[in-house]
Structure 1
Amino acid sequence: MKVAKFGGSSVASAEQLRKVANIIMDDSDRRVIVVSAPGKRSKEDTKVTDLLIALGEAYKSGNDYELQLKLVLERFKSITDELGISDQVTTEIRQDVESVFSSNYSDALKLDAIKAIGEDSLAKVLSDYLISLGLEATYLNPKDAGIFVSDEPGSAQILEESYEHLYKLRERKEIVVIPGFFGYTKDGKLVTFSRGGSDITGSIVAAGVDADLYENFTDVDSVYCVNPNIVENPKEITSLTYKEMRELSYAGFSVFHDEALIPAFKASIPVCIKNTNNPHGLGTIIVAKKETSENPVVGIASDSGFLSLYVSKYLMNRELGFGRKLLNILEDEGISFEHTPSGIDDLSVIIRESQLTPTKEEIVIRRIKEELDPDTVNIERGLALIMIVGEGMNSTIGIAEKATRAFTHANVNLEMINQGSSEVSLMFGIKAEGVNAAVKALYQEFFE
């Protein structure tokens, strides 16, 4: 039994949906399908989810949202017309929007319900299209599928009892089409996962039905060992471990939402990334364990938009609870951290810049000075993180030496090195403007 998830680019148009239908018909084991909302048809296009967010924000601001709604309806009308199926879904979209805005839910829950319309409507369209082709298929709402989540708008977490409900899908004989991205609380409120959460739904469903394989269809033939926007024609990765993919996803690889693999990982279900436009290509398989290769490094990932909160105090190492107090200040202000490299008298906290607004920065600095009495406290913005990833690195001599040599060749100064906290990655912090040069040099060092 296979669970197949199709991303936004795979369902962006009627032409793409025809490809999806052919892929489903090509393998009778593909019995559970999870879909995203329609993505971009071209670089200049707008994703349906972005249109829906703009719609929700217009309503929240008290502005007219008819233009955004019209654009959403036109997208779905063009798809249904080209596929030759009923455009009933456009009527349902308008009804859903009016129903959400007239409800007594909070603004956060209303926005979640509006954002979810894209996935929900596309699942209905695909189900209708499969039926028109003579297949036994049905749309299944996440509530009916048994996807129950925590009451955290925009960042819901799956409840364990969902897996027991999802397992019952194995009994169904027809093809089941489920919208991704959202679930329901125990008291019936629609709540979404974080952005990109359709990947999370696919992984949850695969784990729930105990699938033999979870296929994630996107618009690339495989995962590349480095961002192809930085390095031209990089090498493809044919196999990865869950740990490697998790590290790469976190550090800027856009193929997967970085939380998406966790349910599949826990259930030991192999994941295959495939291209909707080239479904018979090899793709990239992600497994729990794999044979070691000659090159212990499988990929290089990078991401910008970080800052470093630096705190220094003489004899910090002897001051009981210093680190805890510092992190408590961040927690009180609703700020999550990424890494905490430290020395004897120094502690740095790496934070995404979006987490620390100017207002929060002022509060945090003041509290650190008042509560911790440091010798120095400052913030350095404009940082980027680069991660070298591979299961075999911790047992291979010379990886760090090769990496630092590459940074030297790229004439990029290292602000931070973090090794040892992860068995599968080596992390470097640099100024954001040096990212492309550093990544190219690292690729040259490890892959050419």
Structure 2
Amino acid sequence: MKVAKFGGSSVASGEKFKQVAKIVTSDPERRIVVVSAPGKRFSEDTKMTDLLIALAAKVQLGEDYMNEFGQIVDRYREIVTELEMSTDILSDIMANLQSIIDIHKHDSFRLLDCIKASGEDNNAKLMAAYFNHLGHEAYYVNPKEAGIFVTDEPGHARVLPHSYQEIEKLKERTGILVVPGFFGYSENGNMVTFSRGGSDITGSILAAGVKAALYENFTDVDSIYSVDPRIVKNPKEVKEVTYREMRELSYGGFSVFHDEALEPVYKLGIPVCVKNTNNPSAPGTFIVPKRKYSDTPVVGIAGDTGFCNIHVSKYLLNRELGFGRRLLQILEDEGISYEHTPSGIDNISVIMREHQLTPEKEERVFSRIQTELEVDELFIERDLALIMVVGEGMNSSVGIAAKATEALARADVNLEMINQGSSEVSMMFGVKSEVVPKAVEALYNAYFNNVYSISYTNS
């Protein structure tokens, strides 16, 4: 059995639905299909999820929402028309949306969560109906029926362990099972979403539950590339990447695969294949437990912006028992999670996502650090980006770090921070956001083209 997940761009129109149907029915092992909400049909288009968020905002403000409601129904109507199906299903979609609004209009968090989830939910109903329209045995399976039970954290749900026993029962069913991505149900029956892009997570949970032979993740590219093709033209395709490498690359900004989606399949060693809906014959990229590292110690380079760094300095800090714990406790009290904490004998830095540190929180955090920890120096560095050089073969290759620092120096990129975890799966470099393209290009050329930077090939 295979689980096949189709992202928003793969189900954005009636024509895309037809492609999905051909792919699924071409392989009888593709028994479980996970769909996202309709994505963009063209570059200037609006994703269904964004239309749904706009609808929720109108409802929350108590304003007339019929325009937004109509735009959503029209997107589904266009798909139904292209597929030459009965428009009866549109009445079900409209009733579902209106029911969510009526039930949750006085609860902003539940309203937003349920309205967002309706994009995947109604698209799955439509996809199952289309398979039936073509004469195939297919069923819409609600996540509650499938057994996907999650924590009651709207927008940040985590699957509960006992879900997997329930999901395994899907193996006993016949036909094509179409499951909406992005959400599950709490123990008390609430519809709860994963973080945005969480349809990848749903697919992974289902693959683990039924112990699938393969989890196929269909998107709009032939494979995962070693670097963002918007920065480097025609980058190298990655044929194989390990779970740990993919996790690091996703964290570093690769948007092809959700960074939380690997945990369920990782534990069972289920391989993942990222494939192109528009070119399904392309081999794609396999995400596997292990790969051969000798030829490609570095598998990819990723960069992400939106970080800041709180720098704390105090003489003899290293001898002060519990300093780091008390510093992080201040952040925890404000609901702030941190990403990294590089440190020295008299200083420590805490790197976090910048959006978490509102002006009010920053003032309280700084006041408490000064008062409770009696530091000598305290300042914040904003507009930081983190660049990841990833590869499990780095720990057995000489000169990997030297090549990176040399390439960045030749490209005139100033390093704000260097960090390497004990696992040596990745090296991390902190730079200013505006130099990310230059830094990524320099690193790519150093590792994949054996030059330090395009500008320096003759030096």
Query: 1:204-243 residue pairs with structure 2 within 5 A?
Result: 204-243=205-244
> Alpha-carbon deviation of 1:300?
0.3
Deviations 1:97-125 (A, max 9, x none): 32222225732112111001110111011
Residue number in structure 1 paired with 2:97: 97
CA distance in structure 2 between the partners assigned to 1:134 and 1:93 by the alignment:
22
> Which 4+ residue blocks in structure 1 deviate beyond 3 angstroms?
none
5+ unaligned residues in a row in structure 1: which ranges? none
- Report matched runs for 1:27-106 at 5 Å: 27-103=27-103, 106=107
Q: Which residue of 2 aligns with 1:432?
A: 433
Corresponding pairs, count: 448
> In the aligned structure 2, how far is the partner of 1:164 from the partner of 1:228?
41
Q: What amino acid is aligned across from residue 63 of structure 1 in structure 2?
A: E
Range with bigger deviation, 82-91 or 305-314: 82-91
CA contact (8 A) 1:89 1:121 kept: no
| Structure 2 CA distance for aligned equivalents of residues 110 and 144 of structure 1 | 22
In structure 1, distance between residues paired with 2:297 and 2:86 = 53
Q: Which runs of structure 2 are paired with 1:345-356 in the superposition (5 Å)?
A: 345-356=346-357
Residues of 2 paired with 1:33 and 1:88: CA distance?
A: 23
Q: Per-residue CA shift, 1:403-427, capped at 9, x if unaligned?
A: 0011012100000000133321000
Name the CA distance, whole Å, in 2 between partners of 1:242 and 1:67. 44
Structure 2: which amino acid aligns with 1:67? N
Once the two structures are TM-superposed, the CA of residue 293 in structure 1 deviates from its matched residue by 3.0
With the length of structure 1 as denominator, give the TM-score of the two structures: 0.99
| Distance in 1 between residues matched to 2:86 and 2:334, nearest whole Å | 50
Cα distance in 1 for partners of 2:113, 2:344 equals: 43
SS in 1 for 2:260: coil
Q: Does 1:22 align with 2:26?
A: no
1:183 and 1:192 in contact (8 A); partners too: yes
Q: For 2:87 and 2:269, locate their aligned partners in 1 and report how far apart those are by CA, in whole Å.
A: 40
| Cα offset, 1:87, TM superposition | 2.4
**Worse-matched range after superposition: 291-300 or 181-190:** 291-300
> Could you say which residue in structure 1 is the equivalent of 2:5?
5
Q: Is 1:9–1:40's contact at 8 Å kept on the other side of the alignment?
A: yes
Q: Distance in 1 between matches of 2:422 and 2:379?
A: 25
Q: Which residue of 1 aligns with 2:360?
A: 359
Question: Structure 1, residues 109-162: CA drift from partner, whole Å, max 9, x if none?
Answer: 121110011101110111111111111101000011111111111111101111
1:123–1:139 Cα contact (<8 Å) kept: yes
- Superposed, which structure 2 residues align to 1:373-388 within 5 Å? 373-388=374-389
Corresponding letter in the other structure for 1:228: P
RMSD over aligned CA atoms reads 1.0
Q: Distance in 2 between matches of 1:48 and 1:401?
A: 46
CA drift of 1:92 comes to 2.2
Which aligned pairs between 1:106-125 and structure 2 lie closer than 5 A? Answer: 106-125=107-126
Residues 177-221 of structure 1: CA deviation (Å, up to 9, x unaligned): 000000011111100001000000000000000000000000000
Distance 1:240 1:414 in 2: 27
Rounded Cα–Cα distance in structure 1 between residues aligned with 2:421 and 2:157:
31
Letter in 1 for 2:367: R
Answer yes or no: is the 8 Å Cα contact 1:203–1:260 preserved in 2. yes
Show the counterpart of 2:303: 302
For 1:224 and 1:54, how far apart are their aligned partners in 2? 33
Matched, 1:410 2:411: yes
Mean Cα deviation higher: 220-229 or 129-138:
129-138
How big is the shift at 1:96? Answer: 2.1
Following TM superposition, by how much is the alpha carbon of 1:294 offset from its aligned partner in structure 2, in angstroms?
1.7
Q: Which runs of 5+ in 2 are unaligned?
A: 450-459
Q: Distance in 2 between matches of 1:295 and 1:116?
A: 40
Q: Following TM superposition, by how much is the alpha carbon of 1:292 offset from its aligned partner in structure 2, in angstroms?
A: 2.1
CA offset at residue 295 of structure 1? Answer: 2.5
Percent identity reads: 62
Q: 2 CA distance for matches of 1:88 and 1:264? A: 38
Q: Distance in 2 between matches of 1:404 and 1:126?
A: 50
Q: Could you tell me which amino acid in structure 1 is paired with residue 22 of structure 2?
A: N
The whole-number CA distance in structure 2 between the counterparts of 1:110 and 1:166 is 27
SS in 1 for 2:37: coil
Q: Matched residues in 2 for 1:397 and 1:266: separation?
A: 31
AA at the equivalent of 2:133: S
Give the whole-Å Cα distance in 2 for the aligned partners of 1:297 and 1:77: 47
The equivalent residue for 2:181 is 180
Aligned to 1:191: 192
Separation in structure 2 between the aligned mates of residue 178 and residue 371 of structure 1, nearest angstrom: 51
Q: SS of 1:92's equivalent?
A: helix
Give 1:235 shift. 0.4
CA distance in 2, matches of 1:342, 1:65: 51
Is contact 1:305–1:353 with CA below 8 Å preserved after alignment? yes
Aligned equivalents of 2:205, 2:387: Cα separation in 1: 29
After superposition, what is the alpha-carbon deviation per residue over 1:164-183, rounded to whole angstroms, capped at 9, x for unaligned?
01101111121000000000
Counterpart of 2:360, as a letter, is T
Scaled by the length of structure 2, the TM-score of the pair is: 0.96
Is the deviation greater in 429-438 or in 92-101? 92-101
CA drift at 1:311: 0.4
Deviations 1:35-77 (A, max 9, x none): 0000000110000011001111111122222111111100000
Q: Using the alignment, how far apart are the partners of 2:202 and 2:268 within structure 1?
A: 14
Contact 1:251 1:303 (C-alpha < 8 Å) held by counterparts: yes
Q: Structure 1 CA distance, aligned partners of 2:50 and 2:447?
A: 38
Cα distance in 2 for residues equivalent to 1:181 and 1:88: 25
In structure 2, distance between residues paired with 1:385 and 1:297: 17
Name which of structure 1's ranges 379-388 and 90-99 shifts more when overlaid on structure 2.
90-99
